[in-house]
Chains A and B, each alone.
Chain A
């Protein structure tokens, strides 16, 4: 029938057939009285209007006529589609129906008209703002229909963007607050979001507002609850007691959202709970069981839940939590298994005996991904708790047979180097690796192997001397990678300076107990994260890394590579710190960074895992001078710490210019 034609056309256009030739036919079909057909035609016209700006002028007449239709549904439909055409040339025809629309007796037409003005404004952002329209929109904030009111807020926010959005004064604020109950949850969230800009004029007013909003704070609808908390945190930003009370109050509904039937909602809730825990570490202690993982939950929820569990550990529940985490360590998903192992390691900072027992037990499984995670976790643990080293040294025996991946083997090498005197088999393990160094592909492993062998030589010279000689010989004479070669040369020369000097350089720090235990960490002020509450930031990958994990890997890297360089030439080197503004390097992979740097003869010594913040890269170059650089990715730019010998400002500037060029090239490529 009549409906079939546009429907068919629509079907075709969806299946990729080019139907733009039918445009004029469709314009005619628009004149129908059948609402379903009208809607279909409008969908078509709006998606093709930009391709046929001339033809769509024809449409506007029909649309303008429909704006006079007695049926409000047709009026709103016509008005909405008229404003959806997105053609600046049509603006002059649209203004009159829009003005009429603001005064239409049907709320559904006014809703469309109000947003229509925002669309119109954004079509020609440079044009003058019509004060009469703005005034009318302000007065429509008092419209009896709550959706019209909320749309006015939205439209004014867009039209007045340059001026910082709608003016939120006291009368408007109280008007909006009083009508909040009439809105649906979407309207409520929108109003609450806009009100975040309001600053109450007195403490009395503040408390009036807060008590008015109290019921919204415990709303069973997560969008409303979260928007209310954001508002609470922003208006009471200088009253920490109120913020903390609000966090207590909101923990119930947030916990409920953690058990929501929608797993995406669960995820959002767990991520936000992590924010709360930064400021109130003990907040959900009694509810730790709510964060046990369901067996069918996706890995991304499990990982966050484990991070929460680690935060909630205390003397009473530690046994239960460890028991639960232990079950995840053999999960068929290797990411989940490794996350569980590292969670146990973090709990080990406070309860080392229990955790080491579990970790040691896991080594018995002889599975590469588990062993790798355990060895890395143990390395991290001894770095913080040196008292664990005895148990760790005993457990390491035989691990090298199972380990496959680079991170795991690197961790083992570090441990063998630092605690070699207590691991009886250390020389044999290293010897096997040295014998196979020709077929070793990983740069990181070779560097770590060099350092470990050097360290072992210092404490067990008789057993190690011969293999160290062979390794240095290979690295200096045969190795093609400049980086490895340079490090080997450095060690070789260092040995010439005498054993005492070598010891001084290589036996640096073994641990950093200052990173501290897990329990009783000081609470962070709410203001530190309030800004990102109820945004997508907490849900983004790697956004919420546990605080104390941030620095240690980076420290260790410097310990095993760059610091060696640094301290060996500490006599007359220049340490210079530079802050370079540069777009986010985080987006590019370490591999591409490394490849790019190699093109300009800069070697990448080491980088921290990508999710670590700040992300660090250690670079090294040696053309005419030797510069080692430690780049710390910060939010806006990168901090470059340069270590140069001999001091030469010109060369330094050159180096920085090259570095910035490379980084800029990389990030522009990304765009």
Chain B
């Protein structure tokens, strides 16, 4: 049971406050904010309590999404609810930010009214909600399909080999009503990689968590069939050593997905709801089908002048036509590092010393497959000792790999039946993110 829900900006401004059960003091929001900010660091615990009022909160879009409840409540339910609420707000308002929440407060109150009654969750299904939600979303910028300023950030491929504008999926779901029946559907395959590479260069751990997300802007939806790679397999033993097989360890589906054609043809059938939903989640450990995207070859030594020299060679092992974007290597350096001088192998890279996080941050906007970059960092560390070397590393790498899935999962086809009247667009997009890519030194 949820007593109150509120949304706060990172500065503590009250954006939304809804009291479902009554009887809560007015100061409850301030109490929460005091508790959150009283803690050192920017990562307060998920659950906090004040007497017997328990606060559960999540951070999304730079905002605090808070529910108050009692000690006996399920943390899984409350957390999932807050995540779902944030997702719905994002669906309805187009994006998540202080501004979009502020501009759409009436819409969000309307949503909350339908989602929760007397602290009990009634429904979070966008199919049900669309019948009740009347308020139109307000966006800060009129949506335009021709806004192509960010193309390439989130590259996409479809059967027509067109590029979907990256802003296309950040508009309110209801705007499709006014777009003259313009209906679109986005199918995103999103994977997150967790990798640890040992100091000897051996792979210690590699995990991929993946999901297929459907984002639907069609006012009335017909059945959709998503065809995956035919050689897709689930479980440890099957088809090993048979080349192109795409394998995952575990796989689960949204309850609306019908699997009658899955065993025979690897086809998922569903009637997508409006808005965003995750239709399939899967996970793979330790047995990636392709080479790791990045290898690092570090050489670290002290020179005579008491400086620390770090020579870093970073190789991108993606296929030659692909590229990684927004690559960022964070190299922890000894405490007391004063200044950094650098030699980078090409002009589109940059590096700086961040004394607060005690790290050198090396950024590469675009990194083509099959190429190698190198950097020489010279650090001035007055108190350098041999033990200081312990503080160098492990290197954390973050990146985005557009058009690539680490598991090799592909969408073979995407069919809507019956054929939609009028113009309809189907977009399939792939992206792999680094969840945590750690290279020990």
Contacts and interface: CB of A to CB of B under 8 A. Distances in A.
B117 A262 contact: no
B419 interface: no
A265 interface: yes
B117 A80 contact: yes
A537 B71 contact: yes
Interface string B197-225: 01000001101010100000000000000
A295 B438 contact: yes
B373 interface: no
A261 interface: yes
Contacts of B51: 671
Interface stretch (A217-225, A457-465, A478-486): A217-225
A256 B285 CA distance: 11
Nearest to A260: B209
Contact of B74 (A151, A189, A259, A267): A189
Contact of A292 (B74, B121, B205): B205
Q: Is the interface of A mostly helix, strand, loop or mixed?
A: helix
Nearest to A301: B43
Contacts of A185: 80
B382 interface: no
A364 B43 contact: no
A43 B108 CA distance: 12
Interface of B is mostly: mixed
A327 B204 CA distance: 14
Contacts of B132: 73, 108
Contacts of A108: 132
Contacts of A535: 71-75
B410 interface: no
A536 B47 contact: yes
A184 B123 contact: yes
Interface string A295-336: 111111000000000000000000010011001001011010
A257 B22 CA distance: 33
A364 B80 CA distance: 45
B435 interface: yes
A534 B75 contact: yes
A226 interface: yes
B43 A73 contact: no
Nearest to B358: A332
Given A118-B118, A119-B118, A264-B79, A298 B43 contact: yes
B38 interface: no
Given A292-B196, A296-B396, A262 B83 contact: yes
A43 B132 CA distance: 15
Nearest to A186: B121
Interface residues of A, number: 81
Interface stretch (A34-42, A129-137, A234-242): A34-42
A295 B123 contact: no
A359 to B, nearest CB: 12
A10 B106 CA distance: 9
Contact of B45 (A36, A184, A292, A539): A539
A112 B252 CA distance: 34
| Residue picked from A35, A257, A294, A297, most chain B C-beta under 10 Å | A294
Contacts of B105: 10, 14
A391 B92 CA distance: 63
A367 B110 CA distance: 54
Contact of B396 (A154, A295, A320): A295
A364 B120 contact: no
B58 A262 contact: yes
A585 B89 CA distance: 41
Interface string B225-247: 00000000000000000000000
A368 B428 CA distance: 53
B440 interface: yes
A364 B49 contact: no
A186 B118 CA distance: 14
Contact of A268 (B46, B192, B436): B46
Nearest to B436: A294
B252 A220 contact: yes
Interface string B51-72: 1001011110000000001011
A534 B41 contact: no
B385 A364 contact: yes
Contacts of B125: 184
Query: Which residue of A40, A150, A260, A327 has the most chain B CB atoms within 10 A of its CB atom?
Result: A327
Instruction: Give the most central of A73, A86, A264, A367: most B CB within 10 Å.
Output: A264
Contact of A320 (B80, B204, B207, B283): B204
B172 interface: no
A300 B440 CA distance: 22
A202 interface: no
Nearest to A227: B74
Interface in A1-21: 7, 10, 14
A35 B135 CA distance: 9
Contacts of B146: none
Interface in A363-392: 364-367
A344 interface: no
B139 interface: no
Interface stretch (B153-161, B176-184, B297-305, B386-394): B386-394
B279 to A, nearest CB: 11
B270 to A, nearest CB: 15
A323 B79 contact: no
A65 interface: no
A526 to B, nearest CB: 18
B122 A111 contact: yes
Give the interface centre of A151, A333, A536 by most chain B CB atoms within 10 Å: A536
Interface in B357-396: 357-359, 383, 385-388, 390-391, 393-394, 396
A332 B74 contact: no
Contacts of B131: 73
A365 B135 contact: no
B76 A265 contact: yes
Contact of A539 (B22, B47, B110): B47
B9 interface: no
Interface string A533-558: 01111111100000000000000000
Nearest to B393: A327
A260 B59 CA distance: 15
Contacts of A259: 194, 207, 209, 283
Nearest to A39: B110
A115 interface: yes
A658 B211 CA distance: 62
A510 interface: no
Interface centre among B118, B123, B207 (most CB of A within 10 A): B118
A362 interface: yes
A513 interface: no
Given A256-B250, A327-B393, A366-B387, A268 B332 contact: no
A261 B387 contact: no
B330 to A, nearest CB: 7
A58 B39 CA distance: 48
A264 to B, nearest CB: 5
B109 interface: yes
Given A222-B80, A364-B390, A536-B47, A252 B250 contact: yes
B306 to A, nearest CB: 16
Nearest to A293: B436
Given A265-B80, A365-B388, 4 more contacts: A186-B122, A227-B77, A536-B47, A536-B72
27 contacts: A39-B113, A115-B120, A154-B118, A184-B124, A184-B125, A185-B80, A186-B124, A223-B77, A256-B252, A259-B209, A265-B76, A268-B76, A289-B196, A292-B194, A295-B394, A297-B436, A298-B43, A299-B41, A327-B393, A327-B438, A330-B391, A332-B359, A362-B390, A365-B335, A365-B388, A535-B72, A536-B47
Interface of A: 7, 10, 14, 35-36, 39-40, 43, 73, 80, 86, 108, 111-112, 115, 118-119, 147, 150-151, 154, 184-186, 189-190, 193, 220-223, 225-227, 252, 256-257, 259-262, 264-265, 267-269, 271, 289-290, 292-300, 320, 323-324, 327, 330, 332-333, 335, 361-362, 364-367, 534-541, 671
